[in-house]
Amino acid sequence: MIDKRFIGFLNTPPLWTKEQFGLPQFKFPEIDLTNFQSHPIPQRLRLGHQMEHVFRQLVEGSPQYEILLHNLPIKQRNRTIGEIDFIVRDVETEHVLHVELTYKFYLIDTAISAPVHQLIGPNRRDMFFTKMEKIKQRQFPLLHTDEGSDALQAKGIDHEKIIHQCCFKGQLFIPYRESEIHIRPLNNACVQGYWLQFDALNTKEFRGYSYYIPYKSEWVVPPHNDVYWKTHFEILMDINLRMIQENAPMVWMRKSETEFEKIFVVWW
């Protein structure tokens, strides 16, 4: 049985298509999961590192690309100054691609005017604009520093022939009760649910449903029935503890055996 994280990763659209913000998107290959055999992913890894395992196994299962290296540390003397996510070769075109992988969950804060600045992490410690600038200003240029080019040369790769791309996937959550959200040039297909404050969840409207707080490794996974569901009252108790800790959880809400919603409950 295929790990649900692989299916969740494949079903997550890119945050934009083609090229935006000076960042070309990696064209992810079509993957036939019929005969795909996934290998176990270490559970203790951060979600981003789990997604690196997923990306690597899926790309290795495609005849379109060959992975030349991944997670190559770049060192200056004895200090690591960065890391290269993936170098892959397009088998058909022979192009060598540097792919920076990012998988993010962003809430859209419409109180901020510019769409590119509206995307923030659930706990407001993470911003799309900051991540985008880091890729352009630090992670792409890293390969062309003396240390980066030397590390690649040692692997038989010419840094001057590399094409930079990113595989930037994301799930977006809009404010509760706001249906008209304009996020162009970002991909509307990335909207997966909504976010609201604790007091909004603690109302009659939500009492008749069942709830589950997924582990972070499950955030990528589409909601399903095979978990321990709690009542509205029980989940409010759990969420209230997280509010005190200033931790905004993702929550699955089950409206019926076949209808689910994904929400974030924020403390701010």
Structure confidence at residue 187 (pLDDT)? 95
pLDDT at 151 over 90: yes
The phi, psi pair for 218, rounded to 5°, reads -95, -5
Structure confidence at residue 108 (pLDDT)? 97
- Residue ranges of domains in the chain: 4-172, 177-266
pLDDT in tens, 216-232: 999 999 999 999 999 99
DSSP 8-state class, residue 126: -
pLDDT band at 114 (very low <50, low <70, confident <90, very high): confident
6 contacts 62 by C-beta, under 8 angstroms: no
Amino acid (one-letter) located at 55? F
pLDDT at 92 over 80: yes
- Residue range 172-180: average pLDDT? 91
- Residue range 240-255: average pLDDT? 98
Structure confidence at residue 195 (pLDDT)? 98
Measured distance between the N- and C-terminal CA atoms of the chain, rounded to whole angstroms: 40
For residue 173, what are the CA distances in angstroms to 51, 70, 190, 221? 20, 31, 8, 15
Strand partners, 165: 99
pLDDT band at 179 (very low <50, low <70, confident <90, very high): confident
Amino acid (one-letter) located at 205? E
213 contacts 250 by C-beta, under 8 angstroms: yes
Rounded to two decimals, what is the model's pTM?
Answer: 0.95
pLDDT at 181 over 80: yes
Give Cα 203 to chain centroid, integer Å. 31
- Residue range 32-56: average pLDDT? 92
Structure confidence at residue 40 (pLDDT)? 92
d(Cα 29, Cα 152) in Å, to the nearest integer?
Answer: 25
- Residue range 145-151: average pLDDT? 97
d(Cα 124, Cα 268) in Å, to the nearest integer?
Answer: 9
135 contacts 164 by C-beta, under 8 angstroms: no
**Do the strands 260-266 and 191-197 form a parallel or antiparallel pair, or are they unpaired?**
parallel
pLDDT at 43 over 90: no
The lowest-confidence range among 34-38, 50-54, 132-136, 144-148 is 34-38
Structure confidence at residue 239 (pLDDT)? 99
Which is it for the CA torsion 147, 87, 51, 20, positive or negative?
positive
Cis peptide before 42 (omega within 30 of 0): no
118 contacts 112 by C-beta, under 8 angstroms: yes
- Residue range 169-175: average pLDDT? 98
Q: Which ranges constitute the DSSP H helices of 95-170?
A: 115-118, 128-134, 146-153
233 contacts 201 by C-beta, under 8 angstroms: no
pLDDT band at 44 (very low <50, low <70, confident <90, very high): confident
- Residue range 151-180: average pLDDT? 96
pLDDT at 180 over 80: no
Q: How many CB atoms lie within 10 A of CB 96?
A: 18
